[in-house]
Amino acid sequence: MPIARHGTIELAYETSGAPGGEPLLLISGTGVQMLMWPDAFVAALAGRGFCVTRFDNRDAGLSTHLTQAGNPGWLKPLIRHAAAPYRLEDMAGDAVAVLDALGWDRAHIAGTSLGGMIAQTMAIWHPSRIRTLTSIMSTPSARIGTMPKISTMRKLMQIAGMPANGPEDAAEATVALKRLTGTARYPIDEELIRDIGRRSYERDPGSEADGFRQRAAVSASGSRRKALAAVRNPTLVLHGDQDPIINVKAGQATAAAIPGARLVVYPQMGHDLPQELWPSILDEIAALAAQAPARPRSPQPADAR
């Protein structure tokens, strides 16, 4: 698997689709690997003319794990931001390093949850590298829409505390998490989710501390609402109105912060990308890409003119 480098951080990535397609970078959420973008979804994007790259964030999968930074836990980063070993700006720099490794001057960027926050940060700090921005089930601030119900928090903690002693344990934990974050209207494909859980464990079992370090980055990075007002990239915001992890008001706040952003709220969608909604989501991303200025043509050799 190819590796991009951002200082001492190594980032594993993979690319699908025709090399000449519209460049699209997918950014994953907290505590999950690139595999959480399902293979069939990636293939469907490639079928829409995109050249798609997904990658493991730092502290996930085959990318660098900052184990030496320890476990900041839940509370410490909220009280003392210095407890976070890195910020969202650093993770945005990781994504730019992947673009550099691919030789992509600019790309369409789409991120879910934490990935949406990283994508927003890219639009703020690296606007020249972005063609369009798609923020999915995400938030412009750690203080907006990020306090689940107590019952949901308890279940999340219970799932996080389930020891994964092998691929099958990891598969069941992943299914349990998706059951919690999904909704009854869009039942999960349990075999697909089990497969993602198994494969993720086999790539790298990870640790609870990895996810805590990523969450600490969110807490320590503050609000992006004011900075997002300067974003001029065509922007799409997707959110479910039954999201139990990041409330829909966070998606509404993201769209309100970015001039001209298109907000699409899916009824009865949770913190998930239900297969039944893939056609609509693909249509929205493709329509957004069509709004971007045309890519400059590569210069032709003199004898080819």
| pLDDT tens digit sequence for 239-293 | 999 999 999 999 999 999 999 999 999 999 999 999 999 999 999 999 999 999 8
Quote the pLDDT of residue 7.
98
| pLDDT tens digit sequence for 78-99 | 667 778 999 999 999 999 999 9
Tell me, yes or no, whether 245 lies in a domain.
Answer: yes
Q: Measuring CA to CA, how many Å separate 76 from each of 8, 30, 233?
A: 25, 18, 35
Tell me, yes or no, whether 299 lies in a domain.
Answer: no
Tell me, yes or no, whether 229 lies in a domain.
Answer: yes
**CATH number for 194:** 3.40.50.1820
Residue type, 185: R
> Closest Cα partner for 262 from 241, 242, 233?
233
Tell me, yes or no, whether 125 lies in a domain.
Answer: yes
Quote the pLDDT of residue 75.
67
Structural domain total, the chain:
1
Is 93 in contact with 6 (CB distance < 8 Å)?
A: yes
Quote the pLDDT of residue 125.
98
| pLDDT tens digit sequence for 92-143 | 999 999 999 999 999 999 999 999 999 999 999 999 999 999 999 999 999 9
Tell me, yes or no, whether 126 lies in a domain.
Answer: yes
Q: Which domain holds residue 135?
A: 3-293
Tell me, yes or no, whether 57 lies in a domain.
Answer: yes
Q: Is the pLDDT confidence value at 303 over 50?
A: no
Tell me, yes or no, whether 300 lies in a domain.
Answer: no
| Cα 25 to Cα 83: distance, rounded to the nearest angstrom | 29
Mean pLDDT score, 10-31: 97
Overall pTM > 0.85: yes
Helix/strand/coil (H/E/C) assignment for every residue in the chain: CCEEEECCEEEEEEEECCCCCEEEEEECCCCCCHHHCCHHHHHHHHHCCEEEEEECCCCCCCCCCCHHHCCCCCCHHHHCHHHCCCCHHHHHHHHHHHHHHHCCCCEEEEEECHHHHHHHHHHHHCHHHEEEEEEECCCCCCCCCCCCCHHHHHHHHHHHCCCCCCHHHHHHHHHHHHHHHCECCECCCHHHHHHHHHHHHHHCCCCHHHHHHHHHHHHHCCCCHHHHCCCCCCEEEEEECCCCCCCHHHHHHHHHHCCCCEEEEECCCCCCCCHHHHHHHHHHHHHHHHHCCCCCCCCCCHHHC
Tell me, yes or no, whether 302 lies in a domain.
Answer: no
Position 299 confidence tier, pLDDT thresholds 50, 70, 90: very low
